[in-house]
A and B are shown apart, each in its own frame.
Chain A
Amino acid sequence: MSKLSAYLDGVGALGPGFDNWPQLAAQLSGEAPWQAAPTQLPAPQALPPAERRRVGKPVRLALALGFEAATGVDTTTLATVFTASGGDGDNMHALCTTLAEPERLVSPTRFTNSVHNGPAGYWGIAARAQAPCNVLSAFDAGFTMGLLETLGQVHGEQRAVLLIAYDTPYPGPLARLRPLPDACGVALLLSPERSERSLARIELDTAAAPAGSTGQAELDALANSAPALTALPLLAALAKGQPARCALRTLNGFELAVELQPCA
């Protein structure tokens, strides 16, 4: 039974029906109703104009999430972990459509943006972040493995790490193969030491635990609709100022429990 822990120093949230963490927190705590609404993705203002025009939904989503969670933090030296079920679905659909045509006139920008670490690369440019950056894919366990990798870095490197978990839906024929809700995600800033920023202490251990719940059926359904929203039950506890312990979504028989203790 091994344990990894860190302090949660910032949260970002964006998805259908919530534009930021304060809005989602109010919905999770029951202060405000959650209502499904299309995700409002802000323009990536931190990117130079030439890059701003080229980027798709995952970049706009990931940058908004990251900058919200890291508000007031020097991003140039902040290590990051990105985790997403897939890449830029709109871009992939366009590329595969082009490759099925006789001329195969692939756009160099589309190809450049097709890498899974596209949002991470644009984050580096926007945040001038030269610290290490990892980018994961773990199907329905995406958030869980992202959190494990992040706490592994916090433990091993003894420095703050920004986790950005996001999912964006596929268009065209791929949508039926991998159903995902509108663009959504969560970012967590995790540090080895407690500070005045710290909102809660988070601990992982390789053990079984009961499934988590937000306490609201429609928010539980939302949490289960995208790997990037796996943390909603945990964030509901944070929003309510309550401790919580629950299982995280995993695959292939691996078990991982997370515990949250709010900082008083």
Chain B
Amino acid sequence: MQALHLSCFTATSCLGAGLGATLDTLSTNRSGLARCTFETVELSTHIGEVAGVDDYRLPAELADYNCRNNRLALMALEQDGFAEAVRRAAQRYGAARVGVFLGTSTAGILETEQAYRKLDSSGAFVDPPNYQTRHTPYALTDVVSRTLGLAGPAFAVSTACSSGAKVFASAARLIDAGVIDAAVVGGVDSLCLTTLYGFNSLELVSPEPCRPYDAARRGISIGEAAAFALLERPADTLPGDAVLLAGVGESSDAYHMSSPHPEGRGAEAAMQAALSSAGLAARDVDYLNLHGTATPSNDAAEGQAAMRLFGRDVPMSSTKGATGHTLGAAGALEIVIAALALQNGLIPGSPGSHQLDPALELDYAFAPRRQALGVVMSNSFGFGGSNASVVLRRADAKGHA
């Protein structure tokens, strides 16, 4: 594919609001996970909760959009000058020439769950939630598009935990086709009871902070996050540390709704497709940000696929020990983390993980490493066997025009 410039990007998660806090926490190998005291949840687990989401106020004209997911989204847009950068792009290209493609799995379902606690004798809501502005996945895209004053094509992608990565492919295709000149891509998912109790019902939730790729891993810790990037065609001259979207690869497992193919066949196909899309080989990759949810089956399957492709030659880690699994936001959050890694020469560690699963022969980074990076890959895989891998590279990466 034709490379695109991530001309601005930002992330807000339990590591903090914005890139500074995110980088600082990753550099020191700290985790944002804490014992779950969310809402009325009574589960023995740890979560990655973003501070201040309850207190954030939407502008008055967007009052109908008030829900946890939309508050988290708009809070995150304010960081790192992101909203201003998008508004400048809209002025440059025209509001209808900037698309919005965002991943989410649960949107504003928390408020629907709460509304179900108060039904009248006929079964109707006492305090009805708003379907269009909060409940439906598109509500996220809508509130972001309105906040940024955009009028381009806009949709939500909801492929479970690969959502926040697949939007990069959709945006790149429509820029390539000339339908738009720029796109806001990203993912936002927030804590709710459906995912906390749902993953618990599947016995996939860890009682302790999650430990990706560890021999003694016991499941996921659920987190929440909002992460965004502005994609544009690269200018003729870019600073050396500019981050480019070099390739995206997608595949389907066609195997099972909630378990990955045991040998990671779909994961390997997605990584291969991403390399091919970027015109690169496995040996060109300097760091792989793994999906690494810390469930026994995910890490075993993805790890085998990574072994076949990269062996021990490429350092890799999952950052979910720091952020938790942010589900539909995870792809976007980890692409932003990968972009930070490229710009700062930082391979993030894996807080909470200590001993690599002995079945996996990989160069797993338990602690952060300082090392110049030219090309990085990020993996995102989801329920329904939906896989996406994204390749980023620095503008000055050696051997790549």
Contact = CB atoms under 8 A, between A and B. Distances in A.
Interface string A165-196: 00000001110111000000000000000000
B383 A135 contact: no
B254 A137 contact: no
B311 to A, nearest CB: 24
A153 interface: yes
A52 interface: no
Nearest to A132: B250
B159 A252 contact: no
A262 interface: no
Nearest to A135: B159
A115 interface: yes
Given A110-B198, A253-B151, 19 more contacts: A99-B197, A111-B202, A112-B257, A112-B258, A115-B384, A116-B105, A116-B159, A124-B252, A124-B255, A134-B170, A137-B155, A139-B132, A155-B173, A173-B119, A173-B123, A174-B112, A177-B125, A177-B131, A178-B131
Interface in A231-254: 250-254
Given A100-B116, A124-B384, A130-B253, A141 B155 contact: yes
B257 A136 contact: no
A26 interface: no
A143 B27 CA distance: 44
29 contacts: A96-B194, A104-B197, A106-B197, A106-B200, A108-B198, A108-B202, A115-B382, A115-B383, A116-B105, A117-B386, A120-B159, A125-B254, A125-B256, A125-B385, A130-B251, A130-B253, A133-B159, A137-B137, A137-B158, A172-B123, A173-B115, A174-B112, A176-B124, A176-B128, A177-B130, A206-B179, A252-B145, A254-B96, A254-B152
A74 to B, nearest CB: 13
Interface residues of A, number: 68
A228 to B, nearest CB: 14
Interface residues of B, number: 73
Given A99-B113, A116-B158, A121-B386, A129 B254 contact: yes
Interface string A60-100: 00000000000000001000000101100000000111011
Contacts of A76: 254
A137 B138 contact: yes
Interface string B152-178: 111111111000001001101110111
A112 B202 contact: yes
B204 to A, nearest CB: 9
Nearest to A96: B116
B166 A130 contact: no
B93 to A, nearest CB: 12
Interface in B126-160: 128-132, 135-138, 141-142, 145-146, 150-160
B198 A139 contact: no
B216 to A, nearest CB: 24
Nearest to A145: B155
Interface in A112-169: 112-118, 120-122, 124-125, 127-139, 141, 145, 148-149, 151-153, 155-157
Contacts of A141: 154-155
Which 9 residue pairs of A and B lie closest in terms of their CB atoms, listed nearest first?
A121-B384, A111-B198, A116-B158, A132-B250, A2-B178, A253-B151, A152-B173, A137-B137, A156-B173
A124 B153 CA distance: 27
A128 B253 CA distance: 9
A149 B155 contact: yes
B1 to A, nearest CB: 8
- DSSP class of A's interface residues: helix, strand, loop or mixed? mixed
A134 B384 CA distance: 11
Contacts of A206: 96, 179
A155 B124 contact: no
A4 interface: yes
B36 interface: no
A122 B382 CA distance: 13
Nearest to B385: A124
B229 interface: no
B194 A127 contact: no
A4 B95 CA distance: 20
B119 to A, nearest CB: 6
Q: Residue among B96, B119, B255, B257 with the most chain A CB within 10 A?
A: B257
Given A106-B201, A117-B386, A177-B128, A134 B159 contact: yes
Interface in B190-211: 193-194, 197-202
Contact of B150 (A2, A152, A252): A252
A172 B96 CA distance: 38
A45 interface: no
Given A134-B159, A153-B173, A155-B177, A97 B384 contact: no
Nearest to A176: B124
B375 interface: no
A147 B318 CA distance: 35
B296 interface: no
B269 interface: yes
B349 interface: no
B186 interface: no
A99 B197 CA distance: 8
A148 B117 CA distance: 39
A114 B327 CA distance: 14
B266 interface: yes
Nearest to B154: A252
Given A106-B197, A115-B383, A177-B128, A136 B157 contact: yes
B251 A113 contact: no
A107 interface: yes
A152 B154 contact: no
Interface in B74-132: 95-96, 105, 112-113, 115-117, 119, 123-125, 128-132
B251 A131 contact: yes
